[in-house]
Structure 1
Amino acid sequence: MTPRQVVVPAGQEQTYAAWHLAPAVRVGDLVWCSGVLGTRADGSVPDDLAEEVDLALRNLAHVLAAAGGGLEHVVELVTFHLDLAGQVPTFARVRDRRLAEPWPAWTAVGAAQLGGGLHGVRLEVKATAHL
């Protein structure tokens, strides 16, 4: 049996300890990432949606790097949006700057609340990667 490896990037140890969730779990060459937010290092959320999307993808890249990969390894994205129709075009535009072909599978879901209730969060991104 392939062992399961919990992935906790530097700086996220407190989240792992307090919330009892792994930012990612690696089993062999597959990595499942928990939902990431488009927050700054201080936990604030930008007013600009494109900046929030970019931060979410950068934060995802940080988690993937701790697992030994990068955004180029993403095979599936699941995104959650407070305003699905209003946010998907911006998300897609920013995603296309951060990711490249071959494009991952993508499911976008409308949601009522995100980010554990953190004020101002409009989207959350989770991913599966193949390293």
Structure 2
Amino acid sequence: MTERANKTMLPVRRDLIGATLLGAAGGVLTGQLSPASATESGKSQTPVLKALRPAGVPSADAGYSPAILASGGQLLFISGQGPEDYNADMETQIRQTFDRIGLLLEAAGGSFANVVILRSYWVHMLRDLPTYRKVRRDYLVEPYPASTAVGTPELAIPGLELEIEAIAVI
């Protein structure tokens, strides 16, 4: 990249860093899907979520959908959330994390039924993923959200072993 191009990109990069830092602080960001999704009163329409499971795409009954088609409503982006007690057993930590996500969904007028994607990050993914799959069924409803689990050597806070972020259509 040339020096001139680098200087013109600097404000954009600063904006991205600011948004990332806001997200790391546990913020919630909402945005309209499209101007057409709002009614004349300014309120969003009730979202419609449809699981997509076309032939040729693996879709085991593992509590997630390969894709979710969402229409109507607003987008809610929930930054990565973690448990309150890092020393609790992993099932408790997962439940505490989902409870925090639930509070953010409620603050936006939604519930777990509105979640279209979950992204989870794990320090001990192979050890903890079976517990996660069991617990999340207590929170999620069909159509299950699209979902990705990522193993990582560490997370942003020392002692934190899981973090879950979500996107919902409300």
TM (normalized to structure 2)?
0.59
Shift of 1:38: 1.4
Aligned residues, how many? Answer: 107
Aligned AA for 1:34?
S
Alignment equivalent of 2:157, drawn from 117, 121, 127: 117
Query: Whose Rg is larger?
Result: 2
**Does structure 2 conserve the Cα–Cα contact (< 8 Å) formed by 1:56 and 1:125?**
yes
1:70-125 CA distance string (max 9 Å, x none): 111100000000011111110010000111111000000001112x2232x21000
Alignment equivalent of 1:55, drawn from 96, 105, 120: 96
For 1:46 and 1:73, locate their aligned partners in 2 and report how far apart those are by CA, in whole Å: 30
- Residues 1-131 of structure 1: pairs in structure 2 closer than 5 A: 20-21=22-23, 23-28=27-32, 29-39=74-84, 44-114=85-155, 116-119=156-159, 121-131=160-170
TM (normalized to structure 1)?
0.76
SS in 1 for 2:88: coil
> Which is bigger in relative contact order (C-alpha 8 A, separation at least 6)?
1
Aligned AA for 2:27?
P
For 1:59 and 1:46, locate their aligned partners in 2 and report how far apart those are by CA, in whole Å: 17
Identity %: 28
RMSD of aligned alpha carbons: 1.4
Q: Which runs of 5+ in 2 are unaligned?
A: 1-20, 33-73
Q: Which runs of 5+ in 1 are unaligned?
A: 1-18
Change (3 A) 1:20 1:101: closer
Task: Find runs of 4+ consecutive structure 1 residues off by over 4 angstroms.
Answer: none
